[in-house]
Structure 1
Amino acid sequence: MRLEDGLENVCNGILMVDASGAITYINSAARGYLNLKNKSWAGLMVSDVLPRFNFNLKNSDQEQKNQVLEVAGKTLILCSKIVFRDTDPAGLVITLSDIRELEGIIEELGSVKSLYQELKAIFDDAGRITRVVCNSRDITELTNLQQQLEDARKLVQTYREEIAQLRNASLPRDVIVAESQLMKQILETAERVAQADSTVLVEDESGVGKGLLALRIHRASRRAKGPFIVINCGAIPENLIESELFGYSAEALTGAYQEGKKGLIEMAHGGTVFLDEISELPLPLQVKILHVIQDKKIMPVGSSDYKEVNIRIIAATNKDLYKLIDEKLFREGLYYILNVVPIVIPPLRHRREDITYLINHFVRKFNEQLSTRKSINTEVMNTLIAYDWPGNIRELENLVERLMITSIGNIITAIDLPEHLNRADDSSGKNKVMVVDLCPMKDAIEQIETQLLEKAHSKYRNTYRMAEALGINQSTVVRKMKKYLVKE
């Protein structure tokens, strides 16, 4: 069977156009659509029969899918495919469908099939098209799956935004228990810092409550009505963290939905981003975070365009960033741009005045949750105050919860304490200063102060952290270092 015989019996209209735009073939269905049934089409150009179709093989948009055209009183759906000879465009194949016929087919079948078509031209020795091979595949199922995936991604994005809103709505306002002078000073500093948009770096040991302090700064700021987005830099897999932080554009991933995905930083627009465990951020991402802080812009994965974001950054770490900088694991530039306002939260063992108030706070909290009326006796309270709490407030809260659940009576006694706390009393003198010989009291005090300053400086290299460890003011540290000639 000749090619023309086969094309004449195709229900869709087919036109073949050469590189100049001249029509080289038009089948019966196309002649009917274009009112050329009893007319000669020899010598016609494509622009003569499809005046609204802009023919230009050099235009990258020449290939069309489902373009709707009004032609000869009919509404036609046009698809076009460029035909190449080697690497040069040799012409165009155009298919036409009458939309009314398609509507009738849909009504008859009750569903629509999605087809993927590939056209391959076969040329003779003179360079003329002699055959066009059309390969069609039913991709209805793939199309449906892609739509379901797109819907699922949109739903996930909606859930992420709703969860962030719910977290903000459920965050308590006054959650920091502070009776020690050290903590009161820190909270006063936080209140002052909240009035500006400067970056804040919170340094502390694990479990001290850096997240609560960051929340307090947010709540006291002009951004209080905006979102408070917590990003744990150590909890997100390295291969996902960039897209989680910055999102991705529609073109970044195959099958991604049209709007792309918002990142956590963009979701915080108008509010505060809390970067917890900032030391765990991979080095390449540290550069991008630095630019976000400087320029207030992000670039989603797969995009070449920046998006402006109105955010305030609060970062936190429980590691020595100076040491990480020396080890080339943390960028010095990021440290300095984060460290505009440093806040060092002292561990519980350096503010034992707070322990009693924290214990009473947690007892009230768990009494309410468990519908009990328990209390802690004096012996247990003294033991808990003397304990060093390496896990800080988190460890204290977990222990109080455990005691409230496991104790039999309404009064918690020493027998209810875990074994390691009962043993702690026996080693309570481990940090005492040992006196090996007699000397004038003044000389002994000066020697001890000098040694303490030298050890603190060797460990922290920061007068604020030295003051926090020694339990004195930063100005006192500076004055005594000058007095004893301790080099900074």
Structure 2
Amino acid sequence: MIETKSSIKSNSYSLQEVMDNSYDSIFVTDATGNILMVNPTAERLLNLPTTKMVGKNIRELVEEGYWDKSIALEAIEKRTTVTGVIKTRDGLNLMCTSRPLLDTHGNITMVISNSRDQDTLVKLAQTLDKERELVQRYKDEVQYLRDQGFKNRHLVAESLAMKNLLLEANSVGPTETSVLLYGQSGTGKEILAKYLYSISGRSKEAFITVNCSAIPENLIEAELFGYEKGSFTGADAKGKPGLFELADKGTIFLDEIGEMPLILQAKLLRVLEDGEVRRIGGTTSKKVNFRLISATNRDLKVMVAGKTFREDLFYRINVVPLHLTPLRERPEDIMTMSNIFLEELNKKYGYDKVFSAETLQGFLNYSWPGNVRELRNLIERLAITTRGRVIDYQVEEMTNLARNIVTNLNHQENGSFRITVSSKAPLKKTMDQVEKEYIKNILHECNGCVSEAARILCVDRSAIYRKVQVVNLRNQE
């Protein structure tokens, strides 16, 4: 509804309140340019009191030199909104926009003009440009850190098993389907999840990681779904969004999903089916749109059979299963990853360390129960503790083994054993012979179990394989 001059007067109190508190200069004129209302900002910019403006025609103010021209008169003439720059007698440049209001017959009833100091607008535009640059820089930095984090922990695919896995990952990564990653602890499930995220259409959005086994059961619901203020004792007074909300438009990675309590499995299923999440203590639901990647080191089918994992949730998350092979079954990757990890550590600490051939062979012989994580941690320990340039893990093993030989020889519960050596044999040859015979004896007592023998001797399995060639020994037995 268009108000006339009389209706403006009847609402003058409320309208004047709006005008008085406007940062912009506001002029209201009639169809011929007569000034009906002005606000305090207009007084300040023109350095002219209201009493000398209301009732006058804009043409008079232009003729008296208060403006060099009038945008309002142009709007009246053109019968449309006009924007332009006017200059006051005090030298201020004002960006002015005048908009004519028309009645039902198309006649102009009034013209509303808004003006603001152009210098202020320029400064505002410059500030906005700086803010945009800053935001873009932050985005670029975040993306760089994401890329660097991924490059520093990228997937190695020298083995046939990993090459086949990456072929599957490259097929499913760009899709929106749910993926379930199977693999022993330390095989790199999170790294694979990040790879799937990096090649998806959501790679510019959030990637939220949740370790379902690391969050206490009484807190995981609040972490995943969030809560409203006052929902429970100790809750944040402002409430808190859950991780599902934070993952909106992005990807959420539920690691060790087999550890999720049954009651939360039901809530997760509803979120996946309805695409809505409700905070603890809330009465309304919020739409969320995320991609789900899950991971487990457990057999979920067995858990379903044992009623410890919901069957309907299992089928919902197991759309595309990807299996990560244990590290011991892909020796080609061991060599490549070892060199990559050492290269990273050299750069990090300013080292120039290299592996001895014996060390790399020992890595190949070892079973790596902790998989990639164990390999990474061992290499970091060796890089830091090795004094020379060459990392010779065999030296450390021989020292530990010799120490344990002496300890066990002095504390054998099952009696002693005797070997014959030359009285004039070199020390190294004698020690090698003692090691082999002693390890054979321990293996015999352990019924050929290498893992048990390694535990007793406090050495890696690789040391036993390398020292006495246990595979041939077993065949002979």
SS at structure 1 position matched to 2:241: coil
| Other structure's SS at 1:346 match | coil
Does residue 293 (structure 1) correspond to residue 272 (structure 2)? The answer is: yes
1:130-162 C-alpha deviation (Å, 9 max, x unpaired): xxxxxxxxxxxxxxxxxxxxxxxxxxxxxxxx9
Structure 1 unaligned blocks of 5 or more: 1-161, 437-488
Shift of the alpha carbon at 1:260?
Answer: 2.3
Structure 1-normalised TM-score? 0.52
> For residue 238 of structure 1, what is the amino acid of its counterpart?
E
Greater percentage in helix: 2
Q: Distance in 1 between matches of 2:166 and 2:201?
A: 17
Deviation at 1:351, TM superposition (A): 0.8
Please give the alpha-carbon distance, in whole angstroms, between the structure 2 residues aligned to 1:266 and 1:355: 39
Q: Kindly report which structure 2 residues correspond to 1:370-449, keeping only aligned pairs within 5 A, or say none.
A: 370-413=349-392, 414-417=394-397, 420-421=459-460, 422-425=463-466, 429=470
| 1:344 maps to amino acid | H
How far does residue 182 in structure 1 lie from its aligned partner after superposition?
A: 1.1
Q: Does 1:325 align with 2:299?
A: no
Q: Deviations over 1:14-58 (max 9, x none)?
A: xxxxxxxxxxxxxxxxxxxxxxxxxxxxxxxxxxxxxxxxxxxxx
Which residue does the alignment assign to 2:149? 171
CA distance in 2, matches of 1:193, 1:241: 29
CA distance in 2, matches of 1:356, 1:240: 41
Query: Unpaired segments of 5 or more residues in structure 2?
Result: 1-138, 402-458
Between the aligned partners of 1:282 and 1:378, the Cα distance in structure 2 is: 48
1:38-437 alignment runs, 5 A limit: 168=146, 171-173=149-151, 175-250=154-229, 252-253=231-232, 260-413=239-392, 414-417=394-397, 420-421=459-460, 422-425=463-466, 429=470
Percent identical among aligned pairs is: 41
- Aligned pair count reads 274
The aligned amino acid for 2:150 is P
Runs of 4+ in 1 over 4 A off after TM superposition: 165-170, 254-259, 426-436
Per-residue displacement from partner, 1:284-314 (whole Å, max 9, x unpaired)? 0001111212222111111132111110000
How far off its partner does 1:259 sit?
A: 5.1
1:396, CA displacement in angstroms? Answer: 0.4
Match for 2:282: what amino acid? S
C-alpha spacing 1:184/1:312, structure 2 compared with 1 (3 Å): same
**Which deviates more from structure 2 when the two are superposed, residues 290-299 or residues 215-224?**
290-299
Q: TM-score, normalised by structure 2?
A: 0.54
Give the superposition deviation at 1:234.
0.6
Pair 1:299–1:181, CA change in 2 (3 A): same
- CA distance in 2 between counterparts of 1:289 and 1:393 reads 30
Please say which of residues 419-428 and 367-376 is displaced more in the overlay.
419-428
Alignment of 1:449-468 (within 5 A): none
Within-5 A mapping of 1:2-13: none
CA contact (8 A) 1:202 1:345 kept: yes
In the alignment, what sits opposite 1:70?
A: none
CA deviation profile, 1:185-209 (whole Å, cap 9, x unmatched): 1112111111111110000001000
CA distance, structure 2, for counterparts of residue 275 and residue 428 of structure 1:
43
Deviations 1:305-329 (A, max 9, x none): 2111110000000111122122221
Structure 1 or 2, whichever has the larger Rg, is 2
Q: Report the 3-state secondary structure (helix = DSSP H, G, I; strand = E; otherwise coil) of the residue aligned with 1:316.
A: strand
Distance 2:473 2:228 in 1: 60
Structure 1 position 369, deviation (Å): 1.1
Tell me, yes or no, if the aligned pair for 1:407 and 1:416 is still in contact at 8 Å: no
How far off its partner does 1:254 sit?
A: 6.4
Q: Which 10-residue stretch deviates more, 244-253 or 266-275? A: 244-253
